[in-house]
Amino acid sequence: MASASLSLFSTLSKLSSSLPTSPPKLSFPLHSLSVKFNPPAFSLSFPPIFPGLSRLHSPKNHRPLASLTDMASDKRVFDSGDDLAVSLAKYTADLSDHFANKRGAFTVVLSGGSLIKCLRKLVEPPYVDSIDWSKWHVFWVDERVVPKDHVDSNYKLAYDGFLSQVPILPGHVYAINDALSAEGAAEDYETCLKHLVNTKVVDVSAASGFPKFDLMLLGMGPDGHVASLFPGHPLLNENQKWVTFVKDSPKPPPERITFTFPVINSSAYIALVAPGASKADAVYTALGGGSSQNAETLPVQRVAPEGVLTWFLDKDAASKL
Ligand SMILES: O=C(O)[C@H](O)[C@@H](O)[C@H](O)[C@H](O)COP(=O)(O)O
């Protein structure tokens, strides 16, 4: 079993490295579109009508429609990690059905860290059998600039804990080109995204001109960072690039690529998944009004998508609310 996984891993790694690194030249540069960047503002208020909610349905019928009403909640707090994982799996599966039917594709953005463990129920029945995995396209909101088989790689983390256990097409898994420098990998990933926007695999936000992913699964660090956007870092204000790089990440390893806030905030749905006591202070700052007037805004407080934001917390993370 282990060797089968290893050989699958190496096949997938090879396939991923053969992803378009120099896609066809675009007929127009998307980044030259006029871009409206919303200044950082944290808001938990939702649009009066949740995008697409009324059209959500459950063709394979393991998910009763009535349960979709709990998607109206902005914050879900669970007694256990297992309860959180079950709810997150159901939420993801419902959105997968919705976007597969609406667009013929479901674009999902992963983080690293503890998020991958929180996806563990997706690889179990009923979801593993009922989700149309062929529609999934998988991206990373941030990635460490290390080889794909390195212990620090977010790709490897996701592959070992999730991707190797579901039939997502290898060509739909968009890992970074790990042969490049941080600058090169960020540029390459942005070029790849432009190609996918141009071919309509990835949607585009009419409001911002940035790519609009169907679902972004964001983790949050104890310091309130999301993706590789860290407190006090100038990259928090990047408003032109889609993908950029850091070489001084306070969380090791230092070299990473990351989506920028305009891309994060153009998402249709964001799940902010932050379990554990170490997240309680940042959760309080973000949701409980815990910061004083002079305190620096945490990166997570800048997460304010065009679409719907839902927090997934356990009782330890929510203990200070
Ligand atoms: O590469 C990374 O470091 C991750 O992608 C990062 O953005 C992660 O989501 C947060 O650091 C939260 O990680 P934890 O959930 O493990 O605290």
pLDDT (tens digit per residue) in 246-259: 999 999 999 999 99
Cβ(221) to ligand 1 under 6 A? yes
Query: Domain limits at 250?
Result: 75-314
According to the model, what pLDDT value does residue 141 have?
Answer: 98
pLDDT (tens digit per residue) in 67-85: 333 343 499 999 999 999 9
Mean pLDDT value across residues 279-304: 86
Residue 277 has pLDDT above 50, yes or no: yes
Q: How many CA atoms lie within 13 A of 182 on its CB side?
A: 18
Q: Phi, psi at residue 12, to the nearest 5°?
A: -65, -40
65 occurs within a structural domain: no
40 occurs within a structural domain: no
Cβ(251) to ligand 1 under 6 A? yes
2 occurs within a structural domain: no
CATH number at residue 255: 3.40.50.1360
Mean pLDDT value across residues 138-155: 98
Residue 18 has pLDDT above 50, yes or no: no
Cβ(249) to ligand 1 under 6 A? no
Cβ(209) to ligand 1 under 6 A? no
152 occurs within a structural domain: yes
282 occurs within a structural domain: yes
pLDDT-based confidence at residue 292 (cuts at 50, 70, 90): low
What ipTM was assigned to the predicted interfaces of this complex? 0.97
Among 245, 241, 242, 269, CA closest to 256: 245
321 occurs within a structural domain: no
Both tokens assigned to 287: 């949701």
Report pTM. 0.80
**Beta strand segments in the chain, E:** 75-78, 106-110, 136-140, 142-144, 203-204, 211-212, 215-219, 243-246, 256-259, 269-273, 308-314
Mean pLDDT of the chain: 82
27 occurs within a structural domain: no
Q: Which of 251, 255, 259 to mutate to test the pocket of ligand 1 (most atoms within 8 A of CB)?
A: 251
Give the separation between CA 194 and CA 212, rounded to whole angstroms. Answer: 12
286 occurs within a structural domain: yes
pLDDT-based confidence at residue 293 (cuts at 50, 70, 90): low
Query: How many structural domains is the chain composed of?
Result: 1
Mean pLDDT value across residues 81-90: 98
Q: Residues 247-254: contacts with CB within 8 Å, 24+ apart? A: 247/182, 250/223, 251/221, 251/225, 252/152, 253/144, 253/145, 253/146, 253/152
